[in-house]
Structures are given as structure tokens and as C-alpha cells.
Amino acid sequence: MLNLAIDRGNSRIKAGLFRDGLLVQQYICADFSELGEKLAGTSLENAIMSSVSQEPAELVQHIPVSGKHVLFNSQTPVPVHNNYGTPHTLGVDRLAAAVGAQYLFKDRNCLIIDAGTCITYDLLEANGTFQGGSISPGVTMRYQAVHTFTGKLPLVEGYELPPMPGKTTAEAIQSGILYGAVAEAEGMIQHYERQYKPLTIIMCGGDAPFFESTVKARIFVIPELVLIGLNRILEYNV
């Protein structure tokens, strides 16, 4: 029997099948119907889901399990101490990533960077205390904001670093957004390294490969971090 962990993000659904704590299969789907089709015939014991958008009633409808469903929210018991001031407003994906970091890097200070629609920076202390962190716009959101909130600037995209200084408006936008995002990440890392030594830096999210190749720091890129954390929370509750 397998456990199922589902991370419903802003733009897609990521799911992982776990056996004895190990991730054995991963899916990326547009909706729950597609995920249900991919899981057809799979014997599922327990399931957990986090969602940044809405209450995940579809979990029960499309994905039957023989055991327990856990709809992860601020009331769900977790194997870390949550020191966030407003836990009911904390993104469940951020807390799940912290649990994943604690599971993989026990007794270490961890800075968890999730580079997706937004870029989040969260601190997990070595004693297992989640302290919170920072939220800033992701790369795509920055491109869209520059275009949307100005009269003439074009919508630009891409992750290839342009020459400095930019010789065209498109290059100037790319330069400001990409080099700016890298400088932000490096500045955040340096800020936390001054306070928490030694510091393990973990990154996940769709834009993680870009930051891994450009940020001057030793980074562990773990794309499945949120799913690993969700499965750990599921095990903790079951």
C-alpha cells in the first residue's frame, strides 16, 4: 500500500506516492481529474493534501483511499514547533517545506527558499522551531508587474542573463529583474548566515534551477521538498 501526498499550488498540482517514507513516483497535473486518471488502479492507504487556493474537497471525490485523509491546515499537528505569529495565515506549503527540511537535515539551521510564483525565504532552527521569513514576487510575477503597471514597457520573459548594462528596453527589464532577483537571494542568504551559523540552504520551486546556477552559495536543490514534508506530516498524524 502507498501513501499519497498532494501539493496544490497556484498553477499546478504536484503529487507523490510514498512507500515506507520513500518517494517512489511523482506526478504533475493540471487538475484533480487528470491526477485521478493517473492514479487509477493504485492501492492507496492514506493521503494528505495542502492547497494554497481553496478547500480540497476534490481529494475525497476523485482519489479514494482505504485509510485516513488529512487536509493539511493550520490546525494539523506537525513535527516541528511553529513560532509564526499568525499561523492561520501561514501558507501550508511553507510549513510543509520546513517539515521536509527538518526530516532531511536534522539538527541543522536551515534557510528554505521556495522559488515559484512568489519567492519565500523561511528559517527553521536546529532545535526544530519554524521562525517564519519573507515573501517577495517571483521572476514571472516581476515581469508581469513591470508590463502591467506601466504604460509602454513590454512584457518580457526568459531566464538568460543579459549583458550589463542592457542596451535595449527588453535587456534593461531582464537585467533589472534577473540580476535583482539574484541579488535579493544572495542578500537574504548573507543576512541569515550572519545570525545562524552554520546554515544549510535548501531550495525548491520551479525557478530553483535558475537560482542554483546564478547564486553564489552552496545550495541543496530538492524539488520534492514540499511533498517530502507532507508525507512526514501524514506519517506523524497516522
What pLDDT sits at residue 55?
55
Nearest of 230, 238, 237, 222 to residue 95 by alpha carbon? 230
What pLDDT sits at residue 202?
98
Q: What is the pLDDT of residues 127-152, one digit of tens each?
A: 999 999 999 999 999 999 999 999 89
Main-chain phi, psi angles of 162, to 5 degrees? -85, 170
Contact assessment for residue 2 and residue 227, using Cβ atoms and an 8 Å cutoff:
no
Residue ranges per structural domain of the chain: 1-71, 75-238
Which DSSP string corresponds to 108-144? SEEEEEEESSEEEEEEE-TTSEEEEEEEEE-HHHHHH
pLDDT mean by block of 10 residues, the chain; 238 residues: 88 91 93 86 91 61 80 94 95 95 97 96 98 97 97 94 93 97 97 96 95 94 96 96
Q: Which of 93, 114, 122, 207 is catalytic?
A: 93
75-238 CATH: 3.30.420.40
CA distances (Å), origin 20, targets 1, 25, 93, 171: 9, 13, 22, 49
107 in active site = no
What pLDDT sits at residue 153?
95
- CA–CA dist 44, 63 (Å, integer): 9
End-to-end Cα, the chain, rounded Å: 14
**Same topology for domains 1-71 and 75-238, yes or no?**
yes
What pLDDT sits at residue 41?
84
| CATH, domain 1-71, list 3.40.50.720, 3.30.420.40, 3.20.20.140, 3.40.50.11900 | 3.30.420.40
Quote the cell numbers at residue 102. 527538518
- Give the sheet arrangement for strand 69-71, strand by strand: 22-29, 13-19, 2-8, 44-51, 69-71
What pLDDT sits at residue 65?
85
What pLDDT sits at residue 61?
57
Nearest of 223, 232, 198 to residue 107 by alpha carbon? 198
